[in-house]
Amino acid sequence: MAETALVIMARYPQLGTTKTRLAHAIGPEEAIRLYQAFLIDLAHKFAGREYDLHWAYTPAEVDYQAFIATLAPSLAECMCSFPQQGADLGARLHYVFQWTRKRGFRRTIVIGSDSPHIRLETVARAERALDEADIVLGPADDGGYYLIAMRQPYDVFSGIPMSTSMVTHMTMEMAQRQGLNVQLIEPLFDVDELPDLLRLVQVLRADRTLAPATSAHLTAISAI
């Protein structure tokens, strides 16, 4: 077992629950196809590395391990899955860190599944930053964060209204009140709405290797 767990917060694609804001612009079926391309890119980018890749999924009743194996069959043995638990996103994130700590991981890096263009070096930088920091945050352009990494399952989630523009700021304040050292890495954007998707199109036009499956899908629908 590696010392570091990389956990991707993910959803099983279903009509009406997948990329709902983006689905209003591109349609629910297309939102599912696009999201599956995101998952393929993330699996191929991060599986089989020096850390252990886990998928924390919702809803809990699905067989996510079987599902993700259909998207990346050659990598099935390099990935594990476990269901998210908690009443809200903050509780689910805290549970992830508790889950990995109980299984002996010394460091845990959690990312979302809405940024298929995230770079390998970004995760490596977060892992290195934990040599000195208690908490590492990757701020998202919308005020949230696309990455959070910790060595212990600190509670920097309770009472913070997730999916608001103050999440990163409030998380840093909560950490500092607990005497924890926080380090920020470079910002990134999530793909939640149509303007984000158009921005991703531009990024992938410049470098398709950041998310090849997503790039190929967008090319197929003439978005690139």
The CATH number of the domain holding residue 10 is 3.90.550.10
C-beta separation of 134 from 106 below 8 A = no
Is residue 152 a part of any domain in this protein?
yes
Write down how long the chain is: 224
DSSP string for residues in 23-39: HHHH-HHHHHHHHHHHH
Is residue 104 a part of any domain in this protein?
yes
DSSP-derived secondary structure letter, 8:
E
Is residue 216 a part of any domain in this protein?
no
Query: Per-residue confidence at 164, pLDDT binned at 50, 70, 90?
Result: confident
Q: Tell me the two tokens of residue 222.
A: 């003439």
Is residue 205 a part of any domain in this protein?
no
Query: Per-residue confidence at 223, pLDDT binned at 50, 70, 90?
Result: low
C-beta separation of 125 from 131 below 8 A = no
pLDDT tens for 10-53 read: 999 999 899 999 999 999 999 999 999 999 999 999 999 999 99
Is residue 132 a part of any domain in this protein?
yes
Distances (CA, A) of 151 to 92, 103, 106, 116, 128: 17, 13, 6, 25, 12
pLDDT at 224 over 80: no
Number of domains composing the chain:
1
Is residue 220 a part of any domain in this protein?
no
Is residue 221 a part of any domain in this protein?
no
Which structural domain range is residue 133 located in?
4-190
pLDDT tens for 84-132 read: 999 999 999 999 999 999 999 999 999 999 999 999 999 999 999 999 9
